[in-house]
Amino acid sequence: MRTQLSDIQRMKDRDERLVMVTAYDYTSAQLIDRTDIPLILVGDSLGMVIQGNSSTVPVTIDEMVYHTKAVMRGSSKALVVGDLPFLSYTSPEHAIQNAGKLMQIGGCGAVKLEGGVNMAPTVRRLVDLGIPVMGHLGFTPQSVNQIGMRVQGKTVAHARQLLDDALALEAAGAFAIVLELIPAALAKAITARLHIPTIGIGAGVGCDGEVQVWHDILGLYSDHLPRHTKRYADLGSTIEQALNQYAHEVRERSFPTAANSSVIDANTLAEALG
């Protein structure tokens, strides 16, 4: 059975760490299914790591639905959370329509959206309709054109605002909140004031769990590695080596071999070509 919302809350209550990772397709979802990671995020970070954009701003709801469907086909155990992309939740009604697409066509079990106090009425409406909502505060990538790519919550006013935002999301019925790029001590203090779990990324070890982007932790690209992540494998190099070996063997005719090929009866072939 898939991870349920009650499992998530139970993990927080038992002080078990909540592990979440992003996935964007069938194959990676299948790989996650081989582990006991209970939470998958179909993140709009796919705008960057899959589509090659410089931010998540260009991602559309139809693209999110497409990737969510693929992830759902590969995953059988985790709770899959689908991101509502930029400008897909400009009013509660709009959010209902698009969360509906993610859940009914995409098949995921929950949605995530960015924002705090301002989004609370939207969260409340979604939750009232049976749509589990994960919040997302701190560095909210859909607002990168406004806030820049930097750590959030470093002033008194801003730190207090983040706490108010977190409390508003909890009161509105969110089941968890991602805290991205905020100081560790602030994330820890917010976590201590909430009943629902916090899931950090660049927010220190004081959150209830952690979320990381697939491509970051598996070392799938060679660009600059942000401080908030860690490479647990160097799959980029592994893939490069494999591709070079493949190209080499094709060029020198050592692949494919007879074992990779099929046969036809010599007489049949002679007759066909005759």
**Which residue number, 83 or 208, has a Cβ lying nearer to Na ion?**
83
41 binds ligand KIV (CB under 6 A): yes
What's the DSSP call for residue 178?
E
- Choose, by CB under 5 A, the member of 43, 109, 135, 202 that binds Na ion: 43
**Which residue number, 69 or 228, has a Cβ lying nearer to ligand KIV?**
228
Three-class secondary structure of residue 215 per DSSP: helix
Q: Which amino acid is at 83?
A: D
Q: Which stretch binds Na ion (CB under 5 A): 41-49, 153-161, 207-215, 237-245?
A: 41-49
- Choose, by CB under 6 A, the member of 3, 28, 45, 75 that binds ligand KIV: 45
Q: How far apart are CA 79 and CA 43, in angstroms?
A: 13
**In which residue are the tokens 């909540």 written?**
18
Q: Is 252 assigned to a binding site?
A: no
Q: Is 44 assigned to a binding site?
A: yes
Is residue 271 part of the annotated active site? The answer reads no
- In order, the DSSP letters of 106-120 are I--SEEE--BSGGGH
- 174 Cβ contact partners less than 8 Å away, ≥ 6 residues apart: 123, 127, 133, 134, 135, 196
Reported residue count of the chain is 274
Which residues are paired to 19 by β-bridges? 210
Q: How far apart are CA 150 and CA 138, in angstroms?
A: 9
C-alpha dist (Å) from residue 166 to 28, 118, 176: 31, 11, 10
201 binds ligand KIV (CB under 6 A): yes
Q: Which stretch binds ligand KIV (CB under 6 A): 39-47, 149-157, 185-193, 231-239?
A: 39-47
Q: Of 180, 240, 249, 252, which residue is the catalytic one?
A: 180
119 binds ligand KIV (CB under 6 A): no
Phi, psi of 82 (to 5 degrees): -105, 135
178 binds ligand KIV (CB under 6 A): yes
47 binds Na ion (CB under 5 A): no
**Which residue number, 101 or 136, has a Cβ lying nearer to ligand KIV?**
136
Q: How far apart are CA 48 and CA 225, in angstroms?
A: 14
Which residues are paired to 201 by β-bridges? 180
Contacts with ligand KIV by CB under 6 A lie at 22, 41, 43-45, 83, 136, 178, 180, 201, 211, 213
Contacts with Na ion by CB under 5 A lie at 43-44, 83
- Which residue positions form the known binding site? 44-45, 83, 112, 114
Provide the annotated active-site residues.
180
- Which residue positions form the known binding site for Mg(2+)? 44, 83, 114
